[in-house]
Amino acid sequence: MIFLLSSKLPLLNHCRYLSGLRHFDRPRRTLASPIEGKLPKVCGLDEAVSEIKSGENIYLHHACSMPIDLCKSLGIHVLKNNLNNIKVTHALTCGDLPWIREEFYGKIRSRTIFICNNMRPLVNKGFADYIPLFLSDTARLFDEKAIPVDTALLNLSPPDKHGYCSLGINVDLSSPAARNAKKIIATINTSQPKTFGDSEIHISQIDYLIKEDNLTPIFELPVIESNNEEKLIGKWIAENLIDNGATLQMGIGSIPNNVLNQLKNHQNLGVHSEMISDGITELINLGVINNSQKRMYPGKIVTCFAMGSKQFYEFLDGNPLFLFGSAGFTNSINTIIQQSKMTAINSAIEIDLTGQVVSDTIGKRFYSGFGGQVDFIFGSSAALDGLGKAIIALPSRTSKGEPKIVPCVKEGSGIVTTKAHCNYVVTEYGIANLWAKTICQRAYNLIKIAHPDDREMLEKEAFKRFGFIPSKD
């Protein structure tokens, strides 16, 4: 599908489909197409993983959809048969992974595009690998066979009367990985919502199917408590930077939730975001989010993965309001720039006085990943309607009282969003507009929203670094 915004705007043909497939991609299989005469082998967990061999490349359905029971069976199979050099590709991991234990070193090694709690020690000690990657490029990772997939381990919703299962709440890189997999092993999990879009997979595309009682339910996100600083940040953003009719992208955490809590008096908001969570539910029910102003998929919320509560998953189940695409579509720059008043809200670990944003490292230590920050920061800044806003939101200090607005980034820190991409920065003390500002003006605006006890230090350090006292002129 190609979208023409107006006679003055160009036709865009990159990543035109929810799948993120390009016209020259040649996937191994078309997940939604039935294969005549083929049915999966229905078996138990242990039998399903029994043919996995040393040296295989495995894709793991990740985040809240992670198939915990398949992971446990894979671990048992590897130890029992003394397998080694198995590489498992994934993003977020939620729940217990057997191969984080020392006995699996050299046997199973994770390759992750996003580091979370259970991967962090392994990556930083050299026992797992981190792939720095824009989320928009994850479809290419598999469609271009940069990482081959011998076996995909999936956690699917039950089949409907037509034989269609669903990838549920994690389509992101899961649909590209699955369509390029030589073999698909899937559990049928009654807790996995049926979702629409690029999430459908016909049962005949599955090679080994596990239907067992008492499978581990998909992961539920714990309730995140807000502090006063985060509430103030949400208020600044909602009251000053989000227009009626805006299309929203926001990540996970307390700040996005607080932004959403402040939007009940807004009108005609839309959502196009790589990730969605519980915070949007009330605004949908109130009619605040109605997606009526969206130019692409009007009336629909478009996303590639979800994280939330059981109640939120029940809200998603069979709900045609939501379209799940691969990250190759949702996060494609050419998709994002076509949105109406695209407003992207993302977080950071620290930001220096020039506007450089650190998001995936703490000093030399790898901490998280690129995710969709750069995709949406750049896409909203380059929006074709000229009304996009790119926002970085962060408290002025860490929980330990250390400044997050700093003279220079820590040694070893990686810059995720460049100073040229950073437009608005928001803390509990206000909003710094960095667009078209000099280094002198940027430093001045950022110091104004730093913690009051850090401002004198920042001014002195700015003079040492730049040779001037920051000013608004």
Residues belonging to the active site:
274
Residue 139 contacts residue 332 (beta carbons within 8 Å): no
| d(C-alpha 47, C-alpha 79), whole Å | 15
How far CA 432 is from CA of 136, 309, 409, 441, 444, in Å, comes to: 28, 34, 18, 10, 9
CA-wise closest residue to 220 among 120, 119, 116, 94: 94
Radius of gyration from C-alpha coordinates of the chain: 23
| d(C-alpha 311, C-alpha 253), whole Å | 18
Instruction: Tokens 């160009």: give the residue.
Output: 10
* Contacts with 125 (C-beta within 8 Å, 6 or more apart), sequence order: none
How far CA 211 is from CA of 156, 240, 313, in Å, comes to: 11, 51, 21
Instruction: State whether residue 415 is helix, strand or coil.
Output: strand
How far CA 127 is from CA of 66, 106, 412, 446, in Å, comes to: 20, 8, 20, 38
DSSP β-ladder status, 357-358 and 350-352 = antiparallel
**Phi and psi for 206 in degrees, rounded to 5?**
-90, 140
Residue 407 contacts residue 352 (beta carbons within 8 Å): yes
